[in-house]
Structure 1
Amino acid sequence: MSNMPQIVALVLLLIILYFGDIVSTRTKAWIPSVFVCAVLFLVGYWTFFPSDIVARAGIPSVVAIMFMYLLIVNMGTLLPIKELLRQWKTILISLAGIVGIVTVAFLVGFLFFDFNTTIVAIPPLVGGIVSAIIMGNGATEAGLKDLAVFAIVIYVMQGFVGYPLTTIMLKREGRRVLKKYHEGTWNLDIDQTSKFNEQNATSSDENPMPSLFAKIPVQYNSSYFIFLRIAAVGLLAYSVSEVLKPIVTINPFVLCLLFGAIASSIGFLERHPLKKAGGFGLAVMGLMLFVFDTLSQATPDMLVRLILPLVVFILTAVVGMCIFSIIVGRLLKVSKEMAFSIALTALYGFPADYIITNEVINCLTKDPKEREVLTNHMLPSMLIGGFISVTIVSVVLAGIMVNMIVGPLTH
């Protein structure tokens, strides 16, 4: 339907997102909504969806990037500085999972595939559309068109393994935590959770204005003022990223997370400001549609041609991250379910890590206190794990490995 009207495109896409929610709710998150939506998007693209249906519905790349800035700053406000420092185990486990992916993928790749295929596969396996695009462009410049497609297809397809596996692991972890909570052996975590949420409640409920703006009447804290402050933090992240470019390349979205946490700690932003401004649901919707938009490039012919290396490398990545993350998790006294879940965020990153974790929590309990315990135990680790692997390490790996691609020999 090359002439599909904008409102028709938007309604179709929202039907898919809602159907994903229905299936997730009915199956109690055993089938995550993001998995269902991805399948339906593929079916749509292979039948009657125009390839630009997401942009046609009103979410072109520039709008999606705006949502990224707003959402990642917002996520940063959910992670106070003390929480970031407290998550050093998560960072080590995430890095261990990445080492597992790289190590096992190299071994298997060099045994069964050629050098270029292995090099192109690894950065997208660590996650992130940016790394997939870097490797795809590198393969194209080297005259390796199939591998350019392969880089994108890996990114598109690896979530199909990551989503259900993460749901299974987080459900097991959640049940373990709730059992300890009911037995009264989760006291330390309950105390930490209570303090954390008391602080958050104080900043968001008792004080309608953040502390830096306490003297401004509350009626001036409009949605526009909240959006302005979120965007200002995003601008700061972007500016610092640009200033540092001659010295070091830092993705501005990484700085958005960090600066969002700092802004919340110093009283420039309240906790979860995007939700308070009424824009959180819209931003998540727009970003999810943009993520699924990448599926437009995965045609049936491509998948048939690339199915063997695709399956082998994705399974290899899962095995590698499983072994390495569980070993490091055991050394750090983190449960194997939580350690593996943290590592699995490399397969999809934000916002899927946020959505899957919340889906699991919602299906495990409706009790506010239990939800509080599970949220504070699982969500920070999942968010930080995703940012370490997808946003930081995958881009660094891609920047290094793209220069290792060898062009085809001239005949």
Structure 2
Amino acid sequence: MALSVIAAFTIILIVLAAGEFVSTKTKAFVPSVFVSAVLFLIGFWTFMPKDLIAKGSFAAPLVPISMYLLLVHMGTLMNLKELLGQWKSVVISFGGVIGICLMTMTIGKVLFGWQTVVVATPPLTGGVVASILMAKGAADKGLPTLAVLATCMYVMQGFIGYPISALCLKKEAKRVLGLYKNGGKDAKLAESETASTNVTPRKKLIPPLPEQYQTPYIILMKLGFVGFLASKIGPIIHVNEFVICLILGVIFCEIGFLEEKALNKANAFGFLMTVLMGYIFANLSQATPAMLKQILVPLFGIIILGVIGMYIIALILGKLLGFSKEMAFASTLTALYGFPADYILTHEAIKSVCETEDEKEYVIGDMLPKMLVSGFTTVTIASVIIAGFFIKLL
């Protein structure tokens, strides 16, 4: 099917818009990313060309630029105290990854075999890098079916993670909103711990630019400069450069070089997020019906075992560290999708229960930092480490 660039772009946006429409109608009970993923999957199986996403310009070099700018921007949403204060989220999300490994490498090994769980576990713990590593490792070992399993695990895990996370986040948003509405000691404590955005602006090392110079060009230039620094620092210290983007975003916002909520002020956030979301669904073009039928049982069996492992760990660590069971479980579930789905799911849940901007700001201040830090911990850090170890077990 021959499509022009604008036709492909429009089809992609129709699918994304349909996802948002269903999510809004169901008050985030059915998340937009889940609906869009189902529609793209059906489309790729029927009338959509496999390279639809690339034809619509949702591909390199625009996607990497979007990632750099968005992740630095995410850093401008959190202050340094907030980021350092999320150690509990790091512990819980790491614990969830361990829970996945414990379940798949014990019960999963008995049910599906050693090589199957070795190939499938790293992609289940996180991102595309782990999937690529394990797929290549399986192919190099002459295991083409398992190479397909590694790819499908990355593609399909969100179908389980999205709806469960949506339910958990909606319940958590109601709980935090209740603290806000009730006021008193508990609400004040929560507001203090999460460094709510409703605080007096702090004096920073670099004074803010005059309002007339805070233009899209200048804001994007500064975000790009910080992203460039991250791309150079990451390889030197052997840390993923996108993690460095988040950290530098926090630091440069703290000292005043970057504006708070930078991309929003540049009026560029919505478009860049759209680019990233479109690109993510490109992976679904690889999941053919024949491929899914071949590995259906181990695919969903291992996902279910992993989710059970995450839930058990979330209950234990959440109770020990003072997280609600919903927040703890949602933090571990970020391993199944990561950024930007963690951001979108959190915002959708909050939007569905909050009525005023003050309520939204308060609940976002409590929940979003936990989800973002958890997502980076699982997908960006833990999954790559685990893949590097597991590939030696093949």
TM-score w.r.t. length of structure 1? 0.92
One-letter amino acid of the counterpart of residue 314, structure 2:
S
Kept in 1: contact 2:191–2:366 (CA 8 A): no
In the TM superposition, residue 180 of structure 1 has moved relative to its aligned partner by 3.0
- Which residue does 2:215 correspond to in 1? 222
1:6-405 mapped onto 2 (5 Å cutoff): 6-184=5-183, 185-192=186-193, 196-199=197-200, 202=201, 212=206, 214=208, 217-244=210-237, 249-405=238-394
Kept in 1: contact 2:19–2:35 (CA 8 A): yes
Kept in 2: contact 1:106–1:118 (CA 8 A): yes
In the TM superposition, residue 187 of structure 1 has moved relative to its aligned partner by 2.1
Give SS of 2:133's match: helix
Give SS of 1:60's match: coil
1:17-42 Cα distance to aligned partner (Å, 9 max, x none) = 11100000000000000000000000
1:114-140 Cα distance to aligned partner (Å, 9 max, x none) = 221111111111111111111111111
Q: Distance in 2 between matches of 1:194 and 1:260?
A: 17
Q: Distance in 1 between matches of 2:304 and 2:5?
A: 39
Percent of paired sites with the same residue: 45
| Structure 1: segments with no counterpart, 5+ residues | 406-411
One-letter amino acid of the counterpart of residue 343, structure 1:
T
Between 1:186-195 and 1:300-309, the stretch displaced more is 186-195
Q: Distance in 1 between matches of 2:146 and 2:378?
A: 22
Q: Distance in 2 between matches of 1:243 and 1:211?
A: 27
Between 1:285-294 and 1:141-150, the stretch displaced more is 141-150
Change (3 A) 1:188 1:386: same
In the TM superposition, residue 109 of structure 1 has moved relative to its aligned partner by 2.1
Q: Aligned residue pairs: how many? A: 392
| Structure 2: segments with no counterpart, 5+ residues | none
Kept in 1: contact 2:177–2:354 (CA 8 A): no
Q: Distance in 2 between matches of 1:222 and 1:33?
A: 31
Change (3 A) 1:277 1:26: same
Kept in 2: contact 1:193–1:372 (CA 8 A): no
In the TM superposition, residue 168 of structure 1 has moved relative to its aligned partner by 0.7
1:20-71 Cα distance to aligned partner (Å, 9 max, x none) = 0000000000000000000000011001111111110012232211111111
Give SS of 2:61's match: helix
In the TM superposition, residue 370 of structure 1 has moved relative to its aligned partner by 1.6
Q: Distance in 2 between matches of 1:56 and 1:242?
A: 31
Change (3 A) 1:365 1:80: same
In the TM superposition, residue 328 of structure 1 has moved relative to its aligned partner by 0.7
Give SS of 2:206's match: helix
Q: Distance in 2 between matches of 1:140 and 1:389?
A: 25
- The alignment's C-alpha RMSD in Å is 1.6
Between 1:285-294 and 1:130-139, the stretch displaced more is 130-139
